[in-house]
Structure 1
Amino acid sequence: MLAGADVNLTAAKRSTSLLPGIVGDLLQDNQPKLYQQDMKHGGTPLHWAISREVVVALVDKNCDINALNFDGRTALHIMVLRGRLECAIALLSRGAEHSIGDNEGNTPLHLAVKQTNVAIVQALIVFGANLEAKNKMGNTPRHTLPTEMSNSNYDKILYVLHAVGAKRCPPEVSGCRPSCSARGDYNGVPPPPVARSSTRDLVSQMLSVAAMERAACFDTSQKQGRLLCLDGGGIRGLVLVQILLSLEEAVGRPIVECFDWVAGTSTGGILALGLASGKSLRECQRVYFRLKEYAFIGMRPYPSDALEAILKECLGPRAEAGDQASVVSLAQPPPPSEQLVWQAARATGAAPSYLDGGLMGNNPTLDVLTELTELNLALRATGQHEEAKKTNLKVVVSCGTGPIMMKSKTKALH
């Protein structure tokens, strides 16, 4: 590749006798990281990679991430078949298409279910794989679950598919089992319930009922604002992405179109800036997986170079903030024309090397409510009454990243 080999030249385009000349250097340098048995099925070197490092190197060399081999399979299909979770996630986080069917119409999710690989099934679902995709036999992933009920992963995968909404087969489909039959009722075995306070559940239910009653009394004819608040939590910003993806699916429109104001702290601030910069939630999801691979590695404090490089790439090295944001610091904040978006993202995500907003306002709701109250007063004082209506909030949605699970440690007393 260093000598200029074409990483997109598939085996289908050359005879096998010429294949060593095409990727000879790659084979020589990465002999243990390429599976030569897969070469007989054609494809590009990306199909033959068996390590995340090689996958990333090939994608960075502009290897076609969705190229097909002789069986009509992409590199993602192959990684699923071989059970290479890290390689599959590396492909998905770089935009690999998960809806492509092979020569038999099977998507990567069909193959993962057939392989009863729980982790890869979950990964594909997280990245938005179509649960209702049908192969050329007309079967969905749920229908293709192996018949061996003794498989320990059978119950887990069935429950995962059921929990995220995979439908049963229509009544006219034949060959169904209780797991997918329209008349069946078996949905797998759920994991053990998470221990939680029954009192907390009761309070949450009461607050939910009260909020619904209050919402029903709102005067919808008045123009009122909608606020989205995103908590901090490091790599658990992926939790925020998944919550917002579910909301986006429920309302049927991009999440940024549902709110007038978006506030965030630390990882929530990075996500808020990404959305404000025009990134989709799926794009933000891929950014978080790249942060996991390159920024949050090794021991703390994490090196900042990788984080800053990813933020510059995703938010733009010269993109500037369009509106004044309140910044609290010992130094005077730069004017909006000089404030780079990636630097704002870097500042709000300064932990754990430095103190960031998570120290005092990991949940930014109260802070942004204070800011909006002050803005409302300023707008009214300057006669901008119509604009001030957006600061009279109708809806506040606050999303958290969940508590950090701590392992209890007991020390022997001597």
Structure 2
Amino acid sequence: TAADCRKLYFKLKDKVFVGLIRPYESEPLEKFLQNALGEDTRMGDIKAPRIMVTATVADRFPPDLQLFRNYESPNEVLGFVNRVEPVADMPKPQEQLIWKTARSSGAAPTYFRPCGAFLDGGLISNNPTLDTLSEIHALNKALKVANRENEELHLDLVVSLGTGAIPIKTVQVIDIARPDSFM
């Protein structure tokens, strides 16, 4: 429930965001996530609802978006191989530990150290709702091509939790023109 999530968050902040020095220690966060989500629970253990979590693959240039899922990706439905070299020690998305998925997605620079090759998903996916809608569209198209229309997704609800908005302030326009007296 929402009340349970709220209680969990307040426990998290008291155990994880300790002290003034950042980045914060990763171990308390990892222990908290393991206790809350289970040490051995995998993404594929959750059958419903379908879940997608974003992370940034930061061990390459340019960085890439990683979608942790508990379902087949559109490429898997079509039998395609991912164009990006997979991260060496990463299991298939359905086999990924849930606590590690959460840790990878929340590895915000200046707050926590990277989780292996992963950083905060918001570095690449700063509008995860759009990425989710794009994923649903691509998955439905793939299911149609694979003659699996009965598995198509029909969106019931989107929950998008943000951290607020920065108040707008008037600032001076930056003028990059070279001054005439410079020559």
Q: Under a length normalisation based on structure 1, what TM-score does the superposition of the two structures give?
A: 0.27
Q: Determine the C-alpha separation between the residues in 2 that align with 1:386 and 1:397.
A: 25
The one-letter code of the counterpart of 2:42 is: E
CA contact (8 A) 2:108 2:120 kept: yes
Corresponding residue of 2:87: 331
Identify, as 1 or 2, the structure richer in helix: 1
Q: Point out the structure with max Rg over C-alpha.
A: 1
Off by >3 Å, runs of 4+ in structure 1: 324-330, 393-399
* Counterpart among 308, 312, 317 of residue 30 in structure 2: 308
Q: Determine the C-alpha separation between the residues in 2 that align with 1:282 and 1:367.
A: 27
- Report how far residue 314 of structure 1 moved: 0.6
- Report how far residue 394 of structure 1 moved: 6.3
Identify, as 1 or 2, the structure richer in strand: 2
Q: Determine the C-alpha separation between the residues in 2 that align with 1:347 and 1:360.
A: 13
Residues 313 and 360 of structure 1, relative CA distance in 2, 3 Å threshold:
same
* Counterpart among 381, 385, 400 of residue 145 in structure 2: 381
- Report how far residue 405 of structure 1 moved: 7.0
The one-letter code of the counterpart of 1:310 is: F
Q: Which runs of 5+ in 2 are unaligned?
A: 45-69, 74-81, 169-183
Q: Determine the C-alpha separation between the residues in 2 that align with 1:337 and 1:375.
A: 16
Q: Determine the C-alpha separation between the residues in 2 that align with 1:349 and 1:324.
A: 21
CA contact (8 A) 2:107 2:120 kept: yes
Residues 281 and 397 of structure 1, relative CA distance in 2, 3 Å threshold:
closer
The one-letter code of the counterpart of 1:402 is: G
Superposed CA RMSD in Å reads 2.9
Identity percentage of aligned residues: 46
The one-letter code of the counterpart of 1:292 is: K
Q: Which runs of 5+ in 1 are unaligned?
A: 1-279, 407-414
Corresponding residue of 1:368: 132
Q: Determine the C-alpha separation between the residues in 2 that align with 1:318 and 1:369.
A: 29
Corresponding residue of 1:318: 40
Q: Determine the C-alpha separation between the residues in 1 that align with 2:11 and 2:156.
A: 36
Q: Is the aligned partner of 1:282 residue 2:34?
A: no
Give the secondary structure class of the aligned counterpart of 1:368.
helix
Instruction: Answer 1 or 2: higher relative contact order, Cα 8 Å, separation at least 6.
Output: 2
Aligned length: 125
Give the secondary structure class of the aligned counterpart of 2:163.
coil
- Report how far residue 360 of structure 1 moved: 2.1
- Report how far residue 337 of structure 1 moved: 5.6
Q: Determine the C-alpha separation between the residues in 2 that align with 1:281 and 1:300.
A: 29
